[in-house]
A = this chain, B = another copy of it.
């Protein structure tokens, strides 16, 4: 592998001159610059990022820890984080915790020994202990974490409000909310609060189910949806806490001969690709994932440089109407 020294020797210049060309520092004639570039190409010289990182004790890498990769919400999030990082010349080291504490701990150690510039955490069963003595900033997305430098959230409460208001405006009178993960306190819990407040204010009857961690892990909500619909047969509207759950609600309804949207209206959350791929398409609360990912990366880079960053950033959500609540327009794309 060619080194800086090899380039200097081949081009008949000093290492200092070659280094100045590489780092674009000081005065260098066009002739010299071109000569150095020609030799670099000839020798297939690659500046060694690892050596650079070592000398400054930080890499231009951001660790990203998620609980799922195949879950469409996290796939969309990772995609947008990668794009935002690319634009700031950072790379993504990707870790899938599967919600397991020991794996999360191990990943944090890996991030430490790889001298990442920052970690973006979208997984949250960590004990706070593990987050002490970190020498990089920790940015969370849709998670609470005392030790985090900055948290990114969408306006979950408003999302719950919009969902309930929409179902009620479409004539639903017996509404059901299917929550996500129980146990761990999460910003997403506020969806339920917004939903409840609107139902109470409008005097509409509502029920709630929390499927729990096991369903979240395998993403397979069939049994709990079936059981809930049998328990509450009057239900005419469902607010699911993710599009993934809403898609499965539509399937269970089809199997039970309940027509969506005529007999049952369904609202999801997230606005991931699945919402636009089901039949009918899913009316949903859109998280601005692109903007949230951009903010997470920007704050990570700023915080890594020692700049002050806002402790929480909350992004607005919007209602996207599709067929599952009776809107007949063509399915909107992502």
Binds B, one of A11-19, A27-35, A173-181, A271-279: A271-279
Nearest chain B residue, comparing its CB with the CB of A248: B277
**Would you call B49 and A113 a contact (CB within 8 A)?**
yes
User: A247–B277 contact, CB under 8 A?
Assistant: yes
Q: Name the contact of A49 in the complex, choosing from B114, B247, B274, B278 (C-beta under 8 A).
A: B114
Partner of A133, one of B44, B79, B133: B44
Q: Is the CB of B279 within 8 A of A277?
A: no
A96 to chain B, nearest CB (A): 5
Whether A48 contacts B331 in the complex (CB less than 8 A), given A75-B75, A248-B277, comes out as no
Do B49 and A1 touch across chains, with their CB atoms under 8 A apart? no
- Contact string, A67-82, partner B, CB cutoff 8 A, digits 1/0? 0111010011011001
Check if B113 sits within 8 Å of A47, measured CB to CB.
yes
| Separation of A92 and B334 alpha carbons in the complex (Å) | 27
Bound Cα distance A46, B115 (Å): 9
A-B contact pairs, 18 of them (CB 8 A): A1-B135, A44-B133, A46-B109, A49-B114, A49-B115, A50-B50, A69-B79, A70-B76, A70-B272, A72-B75, A78-B78, A82-B95, A86-B96, A219-B334, A222-B331, A247-B278, A251-B278, A278-B279
Spell out A's residues near B (CB within 8 Å): 1, 44, 46-51, 53-54, 57, 59, 61, 68-70, 72, 75-76, 78-79, 82-83, 86, 91-96, 103, 109-110, 112-115, 133, 135, 218-220, 222, 244, 247-248, 250-251, 254-255, 272-274, 277-281, 330-331, 333-334
